[in-house]
Chains A and B, each alone.
Chain A
Amino acid sequence: MAKYQTGMAAIFNDEHQLVDAARKSREMGFKKFEAISPFPIHGMEEACGIKRSWIPYVTFVAGLTGLSLGTLFTWWTSAVSWAINVGGKPFFSLPAFVPIMFELTILFAALSSVGALFVACGLPKVNPPVIDPDLTCNRFALFIPSNDAGYDEGRISEMFRSMGAAEIKKAEF
Chain B
Amino acid sequence: MAAHSHSELVVKKFQPTAMLQMGALVMAGIGILAFCAGLFVAPDRMWPAYLTAFFYVSCLGLGGMFWVFINHVSKAGWSTSTRRIAEGMTSFIPVILVGGLILALGLGRLYMWTDAEVMQSSAMLSGKTPYLNTGFFIVRMLIFAIGMFLFARVIVGNSLKQDSSGDHSLTHKNVGLSVAGIVFFALSFSLFSVDLLMSLLPTWYSTIFGVYCFAGMFQSSLAFFILVLMYIKKKGYVQGYYNVEHFHDIAKYLKGFTIFWAYIAFSQFMLIWYANIPEETEYYLMRAQNGWMAISMALLIFKFVVPFLALLPRAWKRNEKHLAIVCVLVLVMQYLDIHWMVYPNFNDNHFTLGLWEIAMLVGFLGIMGLTMIHFFKKHSLVAVKDPRLEEALHHHVTY
Contact = CB atoms under 8 A, between A and B. Distances in A.
Interface stretch (A6-14, A41-49, A132-140): A41-49
A124 interface: no
A98 interface: yes
Nearest to A44: B398
B140 interface: no
A99 B87 CA distance: 38
A154 interface: no
A46 B274 contact: no
B256 to A, nearest CB: 15
Interface string A87-106: 10000000110110000000
A43 B270 contact: no
A43 B3 contact: yes
A95 B274 contact: yes
Chain B, interface size category, equals 10 to 19
Contacts of B67: none
A98 B304 CA distance: 15
Interface string A28-53: 00000000000010110110001011
B206 interface: no
A25 B198 CA distance: 64
A43 B396 contact: yes
A43 B1 contact: yes
B266 A98 contact: yes
Contacts of B274: 87, 95-96
Given A42-B394, A42-B396, A45-B399, A87 B276 contact: yes
A43 B4 contact: yes
A165 interface: no
Contacts of A87: 274, 276
Interface in B384-399: 394, 396, 398-399
B273 interface: yes
B269 interface: yes
A19 interface: yes
Contacts, number: 32
B13 interface: no
Contacts of B394: 42
Contacts of B269: 95
Interface in A23-78: 40, 42-43, 45-46, 50, 52-53, 56, 60
Contacts of A98: 266, 270
Nearest to B312: A60
Contacts of A46: 3
B12 interface: no
B321 interface: no
A52 to B, nearest CB: 5
Contact of B399 (A42, A53, A95, A96): A53
Contacts of A50: 399
A96 B4 CA distance: 49
A42 B314 contact: no
Interface in B70-124: none
A95 B274 CA distance: 8
Given A40-B398, A45-B398, A52 B314 contact: yes
Contacts of A16: 1
A56 B76 CA distance: 26
Contact of A19 (B1, B270, B276, B399): B1
B270 A95 contact: yes
Interface string B293-319: 000000000000000000010100000
A40 B398 CA distance: 10
Contacts of A52: 314, 399
A19 B399 CA distance: 17
A16 B2 CA distance: 11
B319 to A, nearest CB: 15
Contacts of B1: 16, 19, 42-43
Contacts of A19: 1
Interface in B247-301: 266, 269-270, 273-274, 276
Nearest to A50: B399
A96 to B, nearest CB: 7
A99 B1 CA distance: 45
B260 to A, nearest CB: 14
7 contacts: A42-B1, A45-B398, A46-B3, A53-B399, A87-B276, A95-B274, A98-B270
Interface of B: 1, 3-4, 266, 269-270, 273-274, 276, 312, 314, 394, 396, 398-399
Interface of A: 16, 19, 40, 42-43, 45-46, 50, 52-53, 56, 60, 87, 95-96, 98-99
Interchain residue pairs A-B with the least CB separation, the first 3: A43-B1, A95-B270, A95-B273
